[in-house]
Amino acid sequence: VTWVEHVEFDDRAVHNIYKLLVNSGLVFGAKRWVATLDRQCERLASVMANNIPSGDVGVITTPEGRKSMLKLAERMVLSFCSGVGASTAHTWTTLSGSGADDVRVMTRKSMDDPGRPPGIVLSAATSFWIPVQPKRVFDFLRDENSRSE
């Protein structure tokens, strides 16, 4: 397999805390694309699987249920990406802070978007550093008992 890659982007739009990551090639690199393709293959395999144990409590066991759940997840991902993606029509506005401490917001109108009520969509974003392993943060966020903390 030969992979030829050429990506152009406006690095003025990239926040300083992400420039090292973008310049390393990891953001738009082949490894990222292959990982994305791998996840898509796993989703498709899950939709087509017919050997899921029926005794698992809380698991969607019907093919229609799995397909519906994966379509919902895909719509959620697309909605999230469209909400935080940069465009010339919808720009981010810095509310407070400077550099790594800033909070940015973007608003856009949602009119003829299937599955979403019409109105204004407000997206907010910020970044911060937590001096712990990413796995520990992930485990904390997915633990139902820590959601009130």
Each residue's pLDDT tens digit, 95-124: 876 666 788 888 888 787 777 788 888 888
Residues 98 and 143 in one domain: yes
Q: DSSP states of 97-149 as a string?
A: --GGG-EEEEEEEE-S-TTS-SEEEEEEE-----SS-HHHHHHHHH-GGGTT-
The gap from C-alpha 123 to its chain's centroid, in whole angstroms, comes to 13
Would residue 28 count as lying in a domain?
Answer: yes
Q: According to the model, what pLDDT value does residue 2 have?
A: 45
Total tally of structural domains belonging to the chain: 2
Q: State the pLDDT at residue 46.
A: 77
pLDDT band per the 50, 70, 90 thresholds, residue 57: low
**For residue 30, pLDDT beyond 80:** no
Contacts of 128 (CB under 8 A, 6+ apart): 100, 101
Domain with 33, as residue range(s), is: 1-53
> Global pTM?
0.50
In a domain, 92, yes or no: yes
Rounded average pLDDT over 128-146: 85
Instruction: With respect to residue 69, please indicate whether it lies within any of the assigned structural domains.
Output: no
